Structure 1
Amino acid sequence: MSEWVLSAVLTQLRQWPALVRFQDKSVWAHRQFEADTLAGKRVLIIGAGAIGTEVARRFDVFGASSTLVASRPRKGVLGANSLPEVVPGHSIVVIAAPLTEETRGLVGSEFLKLMDDNAILVNAGRGKIVDTDALLVELVAGRLRAALDVTDPEPLPDGHPLWAQQGAVISPHSARTVPGTNRLCYEVAAVQIAAFLRGEQPPNAVEHN
């Protein structure tokens, strides 16, 4: 998952969608596009579990700084109630949170308006966390970019306007689909079940307010 997030962001910053379109037309597009670097970028990561913290670690290697947000604050992690203050000033916003009543529709029009111009929204969580219609408004206007592994609706139907947005990169809920993933999932599941059988709270349990 963290590899997908990193690759999705680099794909947008380095303008690979535009480059592939140039390649399809056999165009040597030297200086015909504006690439950017991850170094020095500020990244807001919503969801500070195993995925979110690993995403932050990988961004750190590239010289980007991460702000982690969870449902409640803890050391090194801000609480969700701080989002209105912290969203501005981040070039990249990564959704790595589970779908709960608190996160459903979290990224709506007001949230998106707080994002910096030309910022990238990355959704590696669940489609229903993001208001698709509100995101489309920003994409059509060209103010924001997006990298989406999940959508609402999902699967994204043929003819949906998200497909036509050149500012969006879409993968079919496949961020985790690489060799060895099932084995890792079973290992995690075994740890969760063992904790439950011991009468303990499984370490990956999602807490609800």
Structure 2
Amino acid sequence: MRDSRISVSLPTPALAAAVADLDLADRVESIAWDLTTPSPSAHIDLVVLPYQQDPRRAANLGATATQLVQAQTIGYEDVLANLPPGHTVANARSVHEASTAELALGLALASLRRFPEYTLAAQGGRWQQLPGQSLADRTIALVGYGGVGQAIEQRLNGFEARVLRFARTARPGGPDGAGRVREISDLAGLLPEIDVVILTVPLTGETRHLVDDAFLAAMRPGALLVNVARGPVVDTDALVRALEAGHVRAALDVTDPEPLPSGHPLWSLEGALITPHVGGASSAMHPRMVALIERQVRALLNGETPENIVASS
């Protein structure tokens, strides 16, 4: 190994305790830092950012030299927007895909099978049978086909649904077209035949307000929009109008603005199901995050390139 010891800042006692239990803990100088205060050291080899932090906290890295800044999220655009120059950033690919895919599928099933309506009826002591929609025999569009999109498709296997895949770059798939990935630009012409649109794209200039009035108008009446990507991928005002018209349904783990303020129309609109950005917040997150931190520490100790590097500032 190249270095005998490295410094690692950890934002929570739970992560600090887990790192202390690793078999390489004697080679790690653990520093408690959640970025709410100025940096405790002029040099920290590995800085682990808090989960779903105020992105402006990243500015506190300005006085600290680092080898790697490790985000606890897959998305990293807010980190980069606030990060001072001189840092290399890795995202948390491998940590959240399974949990986010579970939630996306759960949101779709809950909305299609009308769980919110049944819950309200049960709270009122009413036996209220309502016709629902199945995933079986439906056409599902996965818009974004990275780790989360692929994990959703794995979990859709067995539901007897037709899956269409869309990404920034098209891929041809197998000889019979199996596994074909279309360009996102092809989506508009196919929307009238799609029953469920699941968004997993990163937020970029190209995907901001990807779902706008024209997109929603092109969707099949009664179709479901599921967003586990980023809130601004959807034009919220356009979605409110489409929900008010009863044209579509929506199941959202992310919104714009976020947190969604009390009194916002989305809270009370029929056909809207909202969870508070908890796609990755499950029992799977902590052990997978610890495993990623361990791999990053070993890479730095060995003089190797860490995984999941997404940008350098």
What is the one-letter code of the residue matched to 2:147?
A: A
CA distance in 1, matches of 2:214, 2:235: 10
CA distance in 1, matches of 2:243, 2:295: 41
Deviation digits for residues 90-116 of structure 1, max 9, x if unmatched?
A: 100000111111111111111111110
Pairs aligned (count): 202
Query: Once the 2 structures are TM-superposed, how far is the Cα of residue 205 of structure 1 from its aligned partner?
Result: 4.5
SS at match of 2:157: helix
Query: Once the 2 structures are TM-superposed, how far is the Cα of residue 42 of structure 1 from its aligned partner?
Result: 0.5
From the superposition, tell whether residues 192 and 94 of structure 1 become closer, same or farther in structure 2 (CA, over 3 Å). Answer: farther
Query: Once the 2 structures are TM-superposed, how far is the Cα of residue 198 of structure 1 from its aligned partner?
Result: 4.8
From the superposition, tell whether residues 111 and 192 of structure 1 become closer, same or farther in structure 2 (CA, over 3 Å). Answer: farther
What is the one-letter code of the residue matched to 1:61?
A: G
Partner of 2:128: 29
From the superposition, tell whether residues 99 and 188 of structure 1 become closer, same or farther in structure 2 (CA, over 3 Å). Answer: farther
TM norm structure 1: 0.89
Equivalences for residues 53-202 of structure 1 within 5 A: 53-75=150-172, 76-188=180-292, 194=299, 198=304
SS at match of 2:148: helix
Alignment partner of 1:20 is 2:119: yes
What is the one-letter code of the residue matched to 2:118?
A: L
Query: Once the 2 structures are TM-superposed, how far is the Cα of residue 148 of structure 1 from its aligned partner?
Result: 0.2
RCO higher in structure (CA 8 A, sep ≥6): 2
What is the one-letter code of the residue matched to 2:253?
A: D
From the superposition, tell whether residues 11 and 72 of structure 1 become closer, same or farther in structure 2 (CA, over 3 Å). Answer: same
CA distance in 2, matches of 1:188, 1:111: 38
- Preserved contact between residue 192 and residue 203 of structure 1 (Cα < 8 Å): no
CA distance in 2, matches of 1:17, 1:87: 26
1:44 to 141, 146, 154: 141
CA distance in 1, matches of 2:293, 2:138: 35
CA distance in 2, matches of 1:148, 1:55: 15
From the superposition, tell whether residues 143 and 24 of structure 1 become closer, same or farther in structure 2 (CA, over 3 Å). Answer: same
What is the one-letter code of the residue matched to 2:183?
A: G
The ranges of structure 1 where at least 4 consecutive aligned residues each deviate by more than 3 angstroms after the TM superposition are: 185-195, 197-200, 202-206
Judging by fraction of residues, say which structure has more strand.
Answer: 2
What is the one-letter code of the residue matched to 2:138?
A: K
Query: Once the 2 structures are TM-superposed, how far is the Cα of residue 122 of structure 1 from its aligned partner?
Result: 0.2
Query: Once the 2 structures are TM-superposed, how far is the Cα of residue 58 of structure 1 from its aligned partner?
Result: 1.3
SS at match of 1:56: helix
CA distance in 2, matches of 1:86, 1:190: 44
What is the one-letter code of the residue matched to 2:252?
A: L
Query: Once the 2 structures are TM-superposed, how far is the Cα of residue 166 of structure 1 from its aligned partner?
Result: 2.1
From the superposition, tell whether residues 24 and 192 of structure 1 become closer, same or farther in structure 2 (CA, over 3 Å). Answer: same
Deviation digits for residues 73-101 of structure 1, max 9, x if unmatched?
A: 11321112212222221100000111111
Farther-moved stretch of structure 1 (67-76 vs 117-126): 67-76
Gaps of 5+ in 2: 1-99, 173-179
Query: Once the 2 structures are TM-superposed, how far is the Cα of residue 191 of structure 1 from its aligned partner?
Result: 6.0
From the superposition, tell whether residues 48 and 14 of structure 1 become closer, same or farther in structure 2 (CA, over 3 Å). Answer: same
- Preserved contact between residue 4 and residue 175 of structure 1 (Cα < 8 Å): yes
CA distance in 1, matches of 2:250, 2:154: 21
- Preserved contact between residue 46 and residue 93 of structure 1 (Cα < 8 Å): yes
SS at match of 1:183: helix
Partner of 2:41: none
Percent identity for Structure 1 against Structure 2: 36
